[in-house]
Structure 1
């Protein structure tokens, strides 16, 4: 067991892998990461599945079977992705059992084309939950305005949810409200709240990418200060955790907690550092605090294992610093609300493009198999 990753886990951070492929499953790579690298969960998204299908030959036999059965591209996409997630759930099941369902989770996302369609999101979330058929699956729902009521309905049906594409603080508040409203509905519907879990995937690196781009375009005034760059992602996430602590307290939450409800843990997502000038572990080591998840691409996981320094709680002591940094960005002319709006739109669009590419690749493979 790697000492640095163990220190991270001992600090209360659940290490999840932001990747999945049939190769990882069939070679035992995922099981090895669980055994040797403290990996206790898996996240997927359309881009991850697109890359897995484009690069791997391990899907060929299933594609031929689906082609022979007359499956269309939507059916084939669903079959392949849910099969991978189901198998990953089986690999992670011992972790799930050992942690009373807190970890050992595997996420699968509703079709990104439904990001602005509440009813279709609710329908597909229920369908994916049923098809995967494993208690440790999480259904990913985008944190768009149309996603908020979908979160409430899905949680209310007793289905565990990973809310994705969260960038902004007000957006995050609405996500937490949607979750708690869903728990209240689930209680009314007779579900055991202890069986319902959720994480809120708060994206980090993309915030820096967008804000840095705007700062670099500034030619005069406080925005030209290089010390403003590369700090917004962490500051924003720290303020999100402060909001989390405030939200999951008080009479409303205590009533649900008495019925067995679990807090919706923050999950730090988009933790691969995109700027090579920055510390490649900063979105992990600077966001250490208990009761959080950090989902990492393998490159980031390896970097943390090699040289990541865990230095205790890096969130609570820095609330004032985080607020001051965001205020300094505002003074420098950075429009926070506009940044968040851009990032949400870009996030949805990127997943739609990846999903379309996945289906294009799979459609060609089906046609070839039928030829």
Structure 2
């Protein structure tokens, strides 16, 4: 079964798991995925932590300890989540070393309630970096307009960043510019550029979900023929932009000082529409120097019946642009799609963060009784 995943890995796609929990760590499940499924990294978000902390008894001992120390709610959430991330970082240290610090990465997200506050986002990113205290950590910062300068400031301090919630190629170009600016400032601040890493998380399935909904509302044959095409085309255009920026003279100067490219990361690759192949956003986005972070269900689907036939992205920008020309002709306002998705993305993470706080509050109260 793992031959398909090996083929994906051999094609230059780093396979990361989009999930983390105390149970995965203590049961040996994550170690098994590393050993048997070519998993070389992990991403987390507030939704993942909310689900993990509400399931089972894995956190009970630490919760009791937090109560004994009279920890505040925010401090408890911070300690519970960073403990998992720190332990996952330790589990991936051999991968980190074996891949010359490229993979073996574990991500943790800043409080999504700060998404519109540049200063607070940058401050929390630095605090998370110091709290986890592992070189293979990535701090996740959303690519909101306020997040862009926070990304640059964080990188300038030598902190590695996973930029999340990217939907449009236009915003992705701004993210890459923020990365280059951060590296330039990091160099000026005396940091070793080879130790500063970044990925840019380009969300995939949500684009199809939103565009398909609008195509269905339009209802023409022309519109219906475009269902399920927007997300892959969008990601392929993003990769073309990546090749352009990281083939520039500006980048060459940084690379000469040891800097590494900010790899595109395909996020939200679990397929939401049952009419589509459940491996669609893996099979159609195979290209070197990228990451695909998958829910476990998608990981197993790819292992079982994924169709990995080599590079499916390079040279497809013209075809992808034609898809977007047709979407515009059919009546889709793509800029409004991206704005809607970003707003909803932040709101969903804020809601999950609230659920996380409520879950931990309930566990603390239970431990006190």
* TM-score band w.r.t. shorter chain: over 0.9
From 317, 320, 342, the equivalent of 1:322 is 320
RMSD of aligned residue pairs (Cα, Å):
0.9
From 284, 308, 311, the equivalent of 1:313 is 311
From 278, 301, 307, the equivalent of 2:276 is 278
Aligned to 2:155: 155
Asked if structure 2 preserves the Cα contact closer than 8 Å seen for 1:106 and 1:136, the reply is yes
Classify the secondary structure of the residue corresponding to 1:16: strand
Aligned to 1:177: 177
Structure 1: distance between partners of 2:219 and 2:76: 51
Aligned to 1:331: 329
Matching of residue 200 in structure 1 with residue 188 in structure 2:
no
Asked if structure 2 preserves the Cα contact closer than 8 Å seen for 1:242 and 1:319, the reply is yes
Work out the number of aligned pairs and report it.
369
Asked if structure 2 preserves the Cα contact closer than 8 Å seen for 1:16 and 1:296, the reply is yes
Classify the secondary structure of the residue corresponding to 1:289: coil
Structure 2: distance between partners of 1:154 and 1:258: 22
Matching of residue 238 in structure 1 with residue 236 in structure 2:
yes
Asked if structure 2 preserves the Cα contact closer than 8 Å seen for 1:269 and 1:296, the reply is yes
Aligned to 2:288: 290
Structure 2: distance between partners of 1:295 and 1:64: 33
The superposition leaves residues 305-351 of structure 1 with CA deviations (integer Å, 9 ceiling, x where unpaired) of 00001111100132111110011000001001000000000000000
The superposition leaves residues 170-217 of structure 1 with CA deviations (integer Å, 9 ceiling, x where unpaired) of 110110000000000000000000000000000000000000000011
Cα deviation for residue 222 of structure 1 reads 3.1
The superposition leaves residues 8-45 of structure 1 with CA deviations (integer Å, 9 ceiling, x where unpaired) of 00000000000000000000111110000000000000
Aligned to 2:93: 93
The superposition leaves residues 219-238 of structure 1 with CA deviations (integer Å, 9 ceiling, x where unpaired) of 34732xx2200010000000
From 337, 341, 361, the equivalent of 2:359 is 361
The two structures have a TM-score, normalised by structure 1, of: 0.98
Cα deviation for residue 118 of structure 1 reads 0.5
Cα deviation for residue 95 of structure 1 reads 0.3
Structure 2: distance between partners of 1:222 and 1:268: 28
Structure 2: distance between partners of 1:75 and 1:93: 26
Structure 2: distance between partners of 1:180 and 1:327: 30
Asked if structure 2 preserves the Cα contact closer than 8 Å seen for 1:289 and 1:313, the reply is yes
Asked if structure 2 preserves the Cα contact closer than 8 Å seen for 1:222 and 1:331, the reply is no
Aligned to 2:64: 64
1:20-35 equivalences under 5 Å are: 20-35=20-35
Classify the secondary structure of the residue corresponding to 1:55: coil
Structure 2: distance between partners of 1:283 and 1:10: 17
The two structures have a TM-score, normalised by structure 2, of: 0.99
Aligned to 2:146: 146
Classify the secondary structure of the residue corresponding to 1:317: coil
The superposition leaves residues 261-300 of structure 1 with CA deviations (integer Å, 9 ceiling, x where unpaired) of 1000000000000000000001001000000000000000
Asked if structure 2 preserves the Cα contact closer than 8 Å seen for 1:207 and 1:233, the reply is yes
Moved segments of 4+, more than 2 Å: 219-223
1:203-214 equivalences under 5 Å are: 203-214=203-214
Classify the secondary structure of the residue corresponding to 2:278: coil
